Amino acid sequence: MAAAIPTLEPTAIFAGDSITWSRSLNDYPAATWTLTYRLLSRAGAAAVTITAAADGDDHLVTVASATTALWTAGDYQMIGYVAAGTERVQVYSAAFTVKPDPATVGFYDGRTYLERILALLEKVIEEGVIREVIRYSYGGVSTEVQTMKDA
């Protein structure tokens, strides 16, 4: 039995995986409107364009694994829009992540940005790189922070 085709856009993919989803836009049927998605890199990688095919009145998006294998890993903004003639309407916008291809990458740090920053802060504190005692005051409230070795 074939897997059901998702009806929502993905938010992440591993490069090298195929992806498929269907989008129903009642006000913009596929017979009249063309649905296109653009992946815009936040780090300067080449933009990616994905064009949906008509599936009745729905828009069917299919991207082959050979195509996604060429995508640069990183964070993108996915913008979806429909167009007909000289008309264009944005119908989607969300963050999208391309993760490195697990079949070709030697190392992958799957932690979120916040998890990586927390680990760096913990390392700085544990290694005593910061001053022994930090004092500061804000709005009449004073506090002190000590390194881990002093605690």
What mean pLDDT, rounded, does the chain reach?
A: 89
Q: What is the pLDDT along the chain (151 residues), one digit of tens a residue?
A: 678 999 999 999 999 999 999 999 999 999 999 999 999 999 999 999 999 999 999 999 999 999 999 999 999 999 999 999 999 999 999 999 999 999 998 887 878 888 888 998 888 878 766 556 667 777 777 777 665 555 5
At residue 95, the pLDDT reads: 96
At 53-96, the pLDDT tens digits run 999 999 999 999 999 999 999 999 999 999 999 999 999 999 99
Q: Tell me if 97 sits within 8 A of 9, measured CB to CB.
A: no
Task: Classify the C-alpha dihedral 91-96-102-105 as positive or negative.
Answer: positive
Rounded distance, CA 19 to CA 131, Å? Answer: 50
